[in-house]
Amino acid sequence: MSKWRLVILALFLSSPLLAERIFLKNGTVVDGAIIQQSRTAVQVRTVDGRVLTLEKDAIRKIDYAFDPQKEAQKQAEEKKRKELAEQEKKRLEAEKEAEAERERERSEKERLDKERRESVEKEKPSQSPPRWWIEPIFSIGSGRFNSGLSTFYWDNYQGTSLGYLGGQTGYAETHVETDWNYSSKGIAQLGLRGGFSRFIGEIDVRSYSAKVSFIDSLAGEAPGFSSTAGTNAVTMEKLEEAHSSLRAGWQFWQSDSNALAVYLGNRSFQATTSYSFIGGADYISAGFPVSLTFFGPESDLSMKGSGPEITLEYERRFRSLPVSVKGRITAFQMNLTAKLEEPSIGTATFAGGSSSSLSWASFENSYRHQGYALSLRGDYLLSGGTQLFLELYALRSDSTLKSVDFRSLLTADEFGVYPGEPPEVTVASLMLLPAFEKKQGNAEVIQTVSFGASHRFEFR
């Protein structure tokens, strides 16, 4: 036995073995108090009162001052700590799972909201304005209109007009004004709009066409003659009228849902038609009854002019719907020139024979038209960018007659004013400048309902 082993053994033998837990080499653990020991063995009284003798060679380790109660308490505390730790772990895992579930719900909600926003953005017009754009427009419709040509036609035959007939002066002729009957009406609109930022320009052409018919009743008076009375049946196969506007505007206020714009422009008016008529009149000349038959092969009637206009426009958009409403009011004034060229072939039948005559008349009047136009339009935006719209449109204008220029030529053959007289030619020219302005309310009236489409091409 070595020196170090003797020292360790001496220390071991001299130390009081007060161990309370003994670990054996075979893995067994014995709890108790050492009551006696020898060089080779140890006697232990266990916690349950038994006395055991253990060989020292079988002992692996001895823990001194071991308190079973404290150890049991320590184990209980350790067990409780582990249980609390396990509970805390489960609580944290539950909170983590709940937070993960809430995060998934938030992510799903954000995804759905984003999809809805993208869907709405695709369906509605872009809130960020394009750099510039153009938009062609077309519509057709139906309704009623009263052309300004009717006012001009009747103005030529109203009141007392001076004339020259058979060497006599003071011939007077008047016509009873009747309504024009419109049929086979056609109404259409062509337009082109464009814009850059808030600047807007547009061309708007509205055309109207119809067939017109009416009865023209006349009464004439001349010295030495009886009163003349007759009627003409007038037919205009196609009356065409166009209102054109060239406008420049500025959108001075806008929001996500509303916009206001003002336009300044020039309005042009043009109306043309040709007509024929057939009619007759009766009078007594020198005691002889005379019957006249008139035929107008083709007379040309036209009116045209232009003037300034101003337009205010309001637009209401609905963010959640692909629809919008647009309202407009326009005030305008135009200076117009109206012309009429009317040839006529007449046949006079009287006792003892008949004769014929040829006449030609020219009228040129100047007018000022003042009025307003109202438009209410509802738009529906399709997914491809095309807009369908329904429009209610109304226009009214008053007419003021400024001047009249009248020229006529009458050629009679086979008879003079009285039967048996030689043929004669009568020429008359008359310029009427009224001392007052003749006004006619509602000289032009238009009321239409139109359906159309437009498509905006945007460039950014």
The residue out of 18, 40, 66 marking a domain boundary is 66
Residues 6+ apart with CB under 8 A from 133: 194, 195, 456, 457, 458, 459
Q: How far apart are CA 180 and CA 182, in angstroms?
A: 6
Q: Measure the CA–CA gap between 26 and 5, rounded to whole angstroms.
A: 23
The verdict on 413 and 436 lying in the same domain is: yes
Shared domain check, 107 and 84: yes
Q: Do 106 and 199 sit in the same domain of this protein?
A: no
Task: List pLDDT tens digits, range 295-341.
Answer: 888 889 999 999 999 999 999 999 888 999 999 999 999 999 999 98
For residue 439, give the amino acid letter.
Answer: K
| Together in a domain, 362 and 404 | yes
Q: CATH number for the domain including 151? A: 2.40.128
- Output Rg (C-alpha) for the chain, integer angstroms: 56
**Contact yes or no for 455/386 (Cβ under 8 A):** yes
Same domain, 223 and 88: no
Is 419 in the same domain as 307? yes
Domain, as residue range, for 62: 3-66
Q: Are residues 293 and 365 in the same domain?
A: yes
451 within a domain of the structure (yes/no): yes
pLDDT of residue 49: 82
Check: CB of residue 59 under 8 Å from CB of residue 26: no
Cα–Cα distance for residue pair 262/311, rounded to 1 Å: 6
* 3 state DSSP class of 410: strand
* Integer Cα distance of 13 and 37 in angstroms: 8
Kindly provide the b/e burial profile for residues 189-216, where b requires at least 16 CB atoms within 10 angstroms of the residue's own CB.
Answer: bbbebbbeeeebbbebbbebbbbbebeb
For residue 72, being part of any structural domain is answered with no
- Amino acid, single-letter form, for residue 215: I
How many structural domains is the chain composed of?
3
The strand pairing partners of 58, in sequence order, are: none
Within this chain, do residues 60 and 155 fall inside the same structural domain, yes or no? no
71: in domain: no
Q: Parallel, antiparallel, or unpaired for β 258-285 and 424-432?
A: unpaired
Shared domain for 374 and 401, answered yes or no, is yes
In degrees, to the nearest 5, what angle opens at C-alpha 323 toward C-alphas 318 and 329?
A: 90
Residues 211 and 324: their CA atoms lie apart, in Å, by 36
Three-state DSSP class for 190?
strand
Q: Looking at the structure, tell me whether residues 149 and 92 fall in a common domain.
A: no
Q: Are 328 and 373 part of one and the same domain?
A: yes
Q: 272: exposed, middle or buried (C-beta count within 10 Å: 0-12, 13-18, 19+)?
A: middle
**pLDDT number for residue 1:** 46
CA 327 to CA 325: how far, in whole Å?
7
Residuewise pLDDT in 10s, the chain (460 residues)? 444 444 344 434 434 444 468 888 888 888 888 888 888 888 888 878 888 888 888 888 887 765 666 667 778 888 888 888 888 888 888 888 888 888 988 888 888 888 887 776 665 554 555 678 999 999 999 998 889 898 888 877 654 444 444 444 555 667 778 889 998 889 999 999 999 989 999 999 999 999 999 988 877 776 656 677 788 889 999 999 999 999 999 999 998 899 999 999 999 999 999 988 888 777 776 667 878 787 888 889 999 999 999 999 999 999 888 999 999 999 999 999 999 988 888 787 877 677 777 778 788 889 999 999 999 999 999 988 899 999 999 999 999 888 877 776 665 554 444 444 444 444 444 444 444 467 788 889 999 999 999 999 988 7
> Using CA atoms, how far apart are residues 262 and 148, in angstroms rounded to an integer?
28
Whether residue 244 contacts residue 203, with contact meaning beta carbons closer than 8 Å, is answered with yes
100 assigned to some structural domain = yes
**Per the domain annotation, does 403 fall within a domain?**
yes
DSSP category for residue 177: -
Interior angle at CA 27, CA 23 and CA 31, nearest 5: 40
The verdict on residue 148 lying in a domain is yes
Span 367-376, pLDDT tens digits: 999 999 999 9
Measured CA to CA, the distance from residue 165 to residue 266 in angstroms comes to: 46
> What is the structure's pLDDT at 405?
76
In a domain, 319, yes or no: yes
313 shares a domain with 387? yes
Residue 238 lies in a domain: yes
Please say which residue of 25, 46, 66 terminates a domain. 66
How far is CA 165 from its chain centroid?
Answer: 62
